[in-house]
Amino acid sequence: MPSSKTPWISRRTFLRGSGVAMALPYLEAMMPSSVLAAPTPEAPARMGMFYLGTGMNMRQFWPEQEGIEYQASRILKPLDKHRGQFTAINGTFLKEGGGHDGAYPFSTSIAKGERQRQSPDQIAAQAIGSDTRFSSLQLSVDRGTNYGSQALATISWNEQGVPLAAENDPKVLFDRLFRPDTPEQKAEEKNEFRRRRSILDLVRDDAKQLASKLGQSDRDQLDQYYTSVRELEKSLARRVEWADTPKPPVETDDLHGTYEKKMAGPEGSGDYLYDDYAKLMYDLIALAFQTDSTRVISYVVRKELAGGVYPEFNVSKGYHALSHHGNDPQSLEELARVDAIYMNHWAYFLNRLNSIREADGTLLDRTVLGLSSGMGFEHSKNNLPTIVSGGSALGIKHCGHLKLESEIPLASVWHTMLDRVGVQVGDQFQDSTGLVQALVS
């Protein structure tokens, strides 16, 4: 007779079928009774940064009242169900923001054209992302970076200030996260790593020999090159390390829309509703967090200038054109209508995270999310539409509508979020004036 301390089934149990094997999620039956009797282990902290290009109609964004008991504005009305789980922070600004270059300083406080610094999500990824298959994920409505243009497709920057490419196709994202690799793909991955690793070693050795003959400026550039090489090596090593680890099985019945259809992003496509796309992307983010595939995500929900509205929104112009409203009542009305749609999607995302039980709370409780823009209203760099959501189990104290006595840089919000997920960056972080004390319980 088995010991009461012995798990009922092995953690290495697989469901086997015709030529396939599917790993099971971590079940209580896999735990010894001594573990089950122990306190519930603490779930990991997670962080997400979300960008809405071209600001919002701030005239219909802020409530008149402060605190939790505010009377909801039109744009914040969709979030009513989640009062106590988010804070709209009235009084954030970007020193280098405003206009249509706001995506560049959004996460770094560095203006377009200047050398960028590492973004908060990548700082968090280094600290809390080492135990996951993906240290971070970069998502967007547009693939790549669009670096140099105003319609930047990413808000993530590595240690050398290089923009990190974003993915916009839900099918590609789903496959990357959950589709099992074939034995041939795994072997190819390992062979590619061995081949590319040997090439990197050769290049690195040659570069070191060259360094002694270069001036200081060139040596500085060479140091940047070394860092890029090291990052690539780490990325390749990580892929090989995870190659033999089964991807987590997930239930797909409750995904909004289908992840099977290649969507290639919403811009310029009339093949599906944006509502389906937006909710499916949020579904996949929730699954990525739930399965601990990653703990850090950035997402450009709406780019600057191009796009931002879709046929089913039933508005007369693109979002950028509407933002140049000239106090036209119809344009202002349509701006608010579009902004409320995006808030409906945000409410859907919060609801999804809040519906997933984890430890002694929910996934939302241990996930802190920051949403804002590179401009406020009428292309201003002040009065940004900033919302912090989730993270109550991480020490976030939500205030409903928080109207600050004096303006603070947006970097103070990122500073606070990093602090709450356990990433200490010191008192001097970008142009932050310190943590947002009203959010820290």
Cβ pair 188, 236 in contact under 8 A: no
Q: What is the mean pLDDT of residues 59-63?
A: 97
Nearest to 49 by CA among 113, 129, 137: 137
Residues 6+ away with beta carbon under 8 Å from 130: none
Determine the pLDDT at residue 175.
82
Identify the residue with better confidence: 90 or 286: 90
How does pLDDT run across 223-233, given as a tens digit for each residue?
A: 655 564 555 45
Q: At what angle do helices 274-290 and 329-354 cross, to 10 degrees?
A: 30
User: What integer best gives the mean pLDDT of the chain?
Assistant: 83
Q: At what angle do helices 216-243 and 183-211 cross, to 10 degrees?
A: 160
24 has pLDDT over 60: no
Lowest mean pLDDT among 12-26, 201-215, 267-281: 12-26
Tell me the residue ranges of DSSP E strands in 96-179: 137-140
Half-sphere exposure of 243 (CA within 13 A, CB side): 19
Q: What is the mean pLDDT of residues 104-117?
A: 96
Angstrom distance (rounded) from CA 23 to CA 140: 30
Lowest mean pLDDT among 138-152, 274-288, 394-408: 274-288
Determine the pLDDT at residue 307.
81
How does pLDDT run across 312-364, given as a tens digit for each residue?
A: 999 999 999 999 999 999 999 999 999 999 999 999 999 999 998 888 899 99
Torsion, Cα of 408, 297, 347, 168 (10° steps):
120
Determine the pLDDT at residue 287.
87
Identify the residue with better confidence: 2 or 313: 313
For the chain, percent of residues with pLDDT exceeding 70 = 71
Identify the residue with better confidence: 142 or 250: 142
Lowest mean pLDDT among 253-267, 287-301, 377-391: 253-267
